[in-house]
Structure 1
């Protein structure tokens, strides 16, 4: 059986659409554990109506507050051998569960099933979201998501499924760190779960102005950067190697201040002639070509411009540097 964990809060306008997409799944051996996170609209009544009609749907109240506490409570009531989650404002493709569980059964333990995603909105999709969708789906098609682990969340949330044993081994929903889906992605990576490539859209992301990821402080940019920093220091940082920050914009400054607070030494470099030679936070900005004078450095790139990133990537490739070993794109 598949256990689906779904927190919900004030999504009455979309909840029936979401639940109908679950009921329409071709794979029938599932349970849905819905956790009400203190809704003040009609969400609870809608959920209760569905639970009264469908024995596979279970309705709980969040004893704490927030999505992590809701996920923890929902998971504690789950009993399936396979684990996934769902967002209460999204829709599933009718074959999502069937495709994922078959992929996992074919590969066995130690694997993670994922699917491609598609945004939809009554107001149209912004260029930024369209680029993210295209980038994420290209990774998912090859199963190469981890290679760009530090750019953005590379596991399409909530379009993943894992064996319960693997999920527990990776810490499940127990870590109380936001953004919770990105944190879980890092733990899937640290747990050596191999991604199963997927060339099909299995999940539909609804975008609208009140969406939690747009409004909650837990999904602000500084939370993402601090999470990346936490896992870089835990998983990839090698103190015996010189550390370089490449880029002097807002993200570069945030990381520089964070490294100073952690007592981590670093060099700061960029390719902007207007900034080279200036001192920021007591660190002198150097020309990026000084990298060639460092012995086996680790380089964090905070340059956001796509064209500039392409040139930087070529710089690394010419020097036979490898992603997640020698360089890390943090944007």
Structure 2
């Protein structure tokens, strides 16, 4: 008689993770929720990652590992998914840690709510090595979970940590699983949840320990550079939220504004461009005249505004300005950074 399918499949792509992999696997083995399998796909590691996986798989049959039949994170995730049998799915990174109650908390949240995805809070470690940018992202991301603002903030950054969610196999399939070749793959997956309007609910406890280190893939790989993030944001904005019957205005004359302008022009989207820097007003940039930001105050027809300012501390003052004008977030304006 075949063994019953595990309740949860943990899908984990790894590459050259020997420095941290043992601690990661131990944190999975030590989960209070025990009905899981861990499917690990090794993406052509050059260190002793395969030896570590082989050793752990022999001592705990819930851990199964395979060599990637393709190359890269997306093919590894696709292969892990095909090998998995669990009723629910989550992802893990080989350099991170699971708090002991993680799977239990995410599972209980999901089965006792009407949400399609459960998530929780995150914490970067080691604390003495976290730079200011990552600390701000941690705080921002956790605030999203506490205030349930996932889709209100989706164009700023990825609003669900890539290794910190749980979803049923049925809902995962309905959203396209990992069968997309678009990077950054974690952010793109959340956009597909947004497209399906899947409900996300967060456990108000830390459910993932994110290890920061100089060789972390999100720091080093070209797939996770600003260009790819902006391409993805505009791709889904134009598909899901762009209205041809409204006038599109791009706000921001810095690097991110210029990047947004290039993407809009490449997609043959007409737009007006504005900023609050009087020194740049009147200049022609990429074939578009830079205007002063007060063009949003008396529009000829309804408008949509993409805010792509490089300095995040401008966001609050811009939001207050829009509020005074009666504009609604995710209807009249969208923060892209």
TM class, shorter-length? over 0.9
Q: More deviation in 272-281 or 306-315?
A: 306-315
Tell me the equivalent position of 2:332: 326
CA contact (8 A) 2:105 2:203 kept: no
Establish whether residue 243 from structure 1 lines up as the match of residue 248 from structure 2. yes
CA displacement, residues 217-254 of structure 1 (integer Å, 9 cap, x when unaligned)? 00011000001010011110011100000001111111
User: 1:16-55 alignment to 2 at 5 Å?
Assistant: 16-55=22-61
- Aligned-partner SS, 1:153: coil
Tell me the equivalent position of 1:279: 284
Tell me the equivalent position of 1:229: 234
Of residues 268, 276, 282, the one that matches 2:273 is 268
Establish whether residue 198 from structure 1 lines up as the match of residue 203 from structure 2. yes
* Aligned mates of 1:227, 1:241 — CA distance in 2: 22
Tell me the equivalent position of 1:167: 172
CA contact (8 A) 1:112 1:193 kept: yes
User: 1:102-121 alignment to 2 at 5 Å?
Assistant: 102-108=108-114, 110-121=115-126
* Aligned mates of 1:129, 1:186 — CA distance in 2: 22
- Aligned-partner SS, 2:291: strand
- Aligned-partner SS, 2:90: strand
* Aligned mates of 2:246, 2:55 — CA distance in 1: 59
Tell me the equivalent position of 2:3: none
CA contact (8 A) 1:251 1:302 kept: yes
Establish whether residue 297 from structure 1 lines up as the match of residue 303 from structure 2. yes
Tell me the equivalent position of 1:13: 19
* Aligned mates of 2:176, 2:329 — CA distance in 1: 25
Establish whether residue 63 from structure 1 lines up as the match of residue 69 from structure 2. yes
Compute the RMSD of aligned alpha carbons: 1.1
* Aligned mates of 2:325, 2:111 — CA distance in 1: 41
User: 1:84-233 alignment to 2 at 5 Å?
Assistant: 84-108=90-114, 110-121=115-126, 124-233=129-238
Tell me the equivalent position of 1:74: 80
- Aligned-partner SS, 1:92: coil
Q: How many angstroms does 1:56 deviate by?
A: 0.7
CA contact (8 A) 1:10 1:40 kept: yes
* Aligned mates of 2:254, 2:269 — CA distance in 1: 19
CA contact (8 A) 1:136 1:145 kept: no
Using the size of structure 2 for normalisation, the TM-score is 0.96
- Aligned-partner SS, 1:12: coil
**What stretches of structure 1 of length at least 5 have no aligned partner?**
none
**What stretches of structure 2 of length at least 5 have no aligned partner?**
1-6
Structure 1 stretches of at least 4 aligned residues deviating more than 3 Å after TM superposition: none
